[in-house]
Amino acid sequence: MKTMDCKDVLANLSSYTDGEGSDELRQALEEHISRCRRCRVVFDTTGTMLKIVTDAEPFDVPLSVSARLYARLEKVLSEG
C-alpha cells in the first residue's frame, strides 16, 4: 500500500473530507492518521469546525439593510 507523510495528508485533507479521491488514497490517509496524532487532530477538528459553521448559519441580513433593499425594490417594481 502507498504510504503518506504528514505533508501528503494535509494536501489531501479537503478532498478526503469531500468524499473524493481513490480508495487507495483514502486508505493510505486513514492508515496515516491512525498512527499520527497531529494529523488525526487536524483532520478531526477540521470536521468539527465544518459542523460548527453549518450549525451556526452565519450572517443574517441586518434589519436596516433589509429595509433599504425593499424600499429600493418598491421603486423598481412600481416603475411603468
Partner 1 sequence: MQKDERANHDVPDKDDFLLVESVLAGERRAFEPLVRRHERRVFRVTLAILGNVEDAEEAMQDTFVKAFRHLDQFRKESRFTTWLTRIAINEAIQKRNTRKNFVPLEQAENAEKNFTPRRYEPWKSNPEQLYGKQEIHRFVEEAIQSLPEIYREAFVLRDVEELSAEEAAAALEISVPALKSRLLRARLMMREALAEKFEEPPTLKTKIVHTALDAGTAVAMRLMRAAGR
Nearer Cβ to partner 1, position 3 or 70?
70
Amino acid making up residue 64 = S
**Alpha carbons 43 and 16: distance in angstroms, whole number:** 10
| Residue 10 binds to partner 1 (criterion: CB under 8 A) | yes
| Residue 80 binds to partner 1 (criterion: CB under 8 A) | no
Q: Applying CB under 8 A, which of residues 2, 15, 24, 30 lies at the interface with partner 1?
A: 15
Buried b (16+ CB within 10 A) or exposed e, 8-46: bbeebbeebeeeeeeeebeebbeebbeebeebeebbeee
Nearer Cβ to partner 1, position 1 or 56?
56
* Interface with partner 1 (CB under 8 A): 10-11, 13-15, 17-18, 37-38, 41-42, 44-46, 48-50, 52-62, 65-66, 68-70, 72-73, 76-77
